[in-house]
């Protein structure tokens, strides 16, 4: 019987591998789980950990990697996958330990060596910044940046902001969008000007913003777009561009993964300048330094512009609001609800996101950005290793306590772009097609 189980498990693993190749990661997880039930070997756990990484289920990925290493301490892939998950969670010292093991065992692996070097630099930088903060606050890029010293070359043929008025008008935004469609860069001076204008607006905004639906108009809520510029622009092409009677709320995760995150976020920020009361932006878990280091936005900004530009993006992301309430009845947040039953909208309003800067590993701000719904009642440990999973009863109680009708959130890939759960009270919206 044991031998039959091994054979059957190998067959199921092969099915799981095929599903993984098709980027059907949730289906692959089910198959790897079935194989583990028949024959719990290290490679099955390691493969399932890889699937969880793809789905950003970092907590589950770490657990599976550790199970694999308990069975086979020499399984280097498991070390690498645990390191990747820890890096995404900002646990760079833990990741560094595993990456050193990987590099020692596979000295010729250039990708592992590059990730080791990157992680080591991040650890050193964090320690340096802590030392600076102990004596004084880290100086703001926004406060030190003098836009007037940046010259725009005569040879530049892209859109220009009128420097007498500093007004970002419709002609500039339309020209900029076309510039991005043609895969051309916006001049750094104008990128800085957009960033500084949006940062100022966000610094003055509360952590929770009440928004109305335009009279005789509509409001569209969009989920993650993750740097997919052309798919993002298609939202406007098919659904209408932001205007005085068509408001948009983009619910976080504008950047990372896709190759055109910079173009997406600059377009959103430019429309925010053009329609400050019709274009709303919420912070997602990817508008954070740790995720930007691991999933590409930091590298993209540095390659296309500069380290200073990325630091200004980081400061601007720190100022993004955390939640919106539509017409006093629908709460919109990136992740989800809380580990406590007594949270009110006023508690969200009181979150001092400007002081916190980067989301902590627990508490209300963390849970707003990281939590996920679950079908079971009550709460469960987060599959991501941070935040919580909350059931339909938690959603119902929160909405009743705060006199709300519905929760809209994003944060998870959905094949049809959305899913309705918790007796119609919790809607997930995801707006990045062809995500994998």
**Cα-trace Rg, the chain:** 23
Q: How many CA atoms does the CB half-sphere of 208 hold within 13 Å?
A: 19
Q: Clarify whether 411 is annotated catalytic.
A: no
**CA geometry: angle 207, 387, 352, nearest 5 deg:** 25
Please state, in angstroms and as integers, the Cα–Cα distance from residue 49 to each residue in 26, 60, 98, 295, 430, following that order. Answer: 12, 7, 15, 18, 23
Residue carrying structure tokens 């004084």: 136
CA angle 53, 59, 62 (to 5 degrees): 70
| 3-class secondary structure per residue, 130-195 | HHHHHHCCCCCHHHHCCHHHCCCCCCCCCCCCECCCCECCHHHHHHHHHHHHCCCCCCHHHHHHHH
Contact 292, 256 (CB under 8 A): yes
The secondary structure of 326-392, three-state, reads ECCCEEEECCCCCCCCCCCHHHHHCCCHHHHCCCCCCCHHHHHHHCEECCCCCEEECCCCCCEEECH
Checking DSSP bridges between strand 330-333 and strand 323-326, what pairing results, if any?
A: antiparallel
The DSSP secondary structure of 233-267, one letter per residue, reads HHHHHHH---BTTEEEEE-S--SSSSTTHHHHHHH
Asked if 264 and 232 count as a contact pair (C-beta separation under 8 A), the reply is: yes
Closest Cα to residue 292, out of 335, 253, 336, 334? 253
- Among all chains, which residue has been given the structure tokens 């701000």? 365
Q: Which of 226, 286, 411, 422 is catalytic?
A: 286
Q: List the structure tokens of 328.
A: 């006093």
Spatial CB neighbours of 2, under 8 Å, sequence gap ≥ 6: none
User: Hey, which residues are catalytic here?
Assistant: 286
């Amino acid at each position: 019987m044991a031998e039959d189980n091994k054979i059957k498990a190998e067959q199921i693993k092969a099915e799981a591998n095929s599903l993984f190749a098709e980027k059907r990661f949730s289906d692959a997880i089910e198959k790897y789980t079935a194989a583990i039930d028949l024959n719990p070997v290290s490679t099955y756990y390691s493969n399932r950990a890889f699937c969880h990484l793809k789905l950003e289920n970092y907590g589950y990925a770490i657990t599976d990697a550790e199970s694999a290493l308990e069975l086979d301490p020499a399984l280097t892939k498991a070390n690498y996958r645990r390191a990747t998950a820890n890096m995404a969670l900002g646990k760079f010292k833990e990741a560094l330990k595993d990456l050193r093991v990987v590099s020692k065992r596979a000295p010729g692996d250039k990708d592992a060596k590059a990730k080791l070097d990157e992680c080591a630099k991040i650890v050193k930088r964090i320690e340096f910044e802590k030392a600076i903060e102990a004596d004084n606050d880290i100086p703001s890029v926004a406060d030190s940046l003098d836009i007037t010293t940046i010259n725009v070359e005569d040879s530049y043929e892209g859109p220009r902001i009128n420097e007498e008025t500093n007004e970002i008008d419709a002609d500039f935004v339309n020209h900029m969008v076309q510039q991005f469609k043609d895969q051309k860069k916006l001049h750094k001076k104008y990128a800085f000007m957009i960033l500084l204008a949006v940062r100022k607006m966000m610094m003055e905004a509360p952590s929770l913003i009440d928004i109305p639906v335009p009279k005789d108009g509509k409001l569209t809520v969009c989920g993650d777009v993750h740097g997919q510029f052309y798919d993002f622009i298609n939202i406007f092409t098919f659904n209408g561009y932001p205007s005085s009677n068509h408001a948009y709320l983009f619910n976080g995760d504008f950047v990372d993964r896709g190759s055109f995150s910079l173009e997406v976020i600059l377009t959103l920020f430019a429309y925010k300048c053009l329609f400050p009361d019709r274009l709303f932006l919420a912070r997602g878990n990817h508008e954070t330094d740790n995720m930007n280091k691991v999933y590409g936005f930091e590298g993209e900004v540095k390659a296309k512009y500069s380290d200073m530009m990325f630091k200004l993006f980081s400061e601007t992301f720190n100022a993004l609001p955390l939640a919106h309430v539509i017409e006093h009845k629908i709460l919109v947040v990136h992740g989800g609800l809380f580990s406590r039953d007594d949270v009110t909208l006023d508690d969200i309003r009181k979150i001092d996101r400007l002081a916190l800067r980067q989301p902590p590993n627990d508490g209300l701000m963390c849970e707003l950005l990281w939590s996920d719904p679950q079908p079971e009642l009550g709460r469960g440990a987060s599959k991501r290793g941070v935040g919580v999973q909350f059931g339909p009863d938690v959603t119902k109680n929160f909405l009743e306590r705060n006199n709300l009708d519905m929760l809209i959130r994003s944060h998870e890939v959905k094949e049809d772009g959305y899913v309705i759960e918790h007796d119609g009270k919790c809607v997930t919206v995801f707006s990045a097609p062809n995500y994998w």
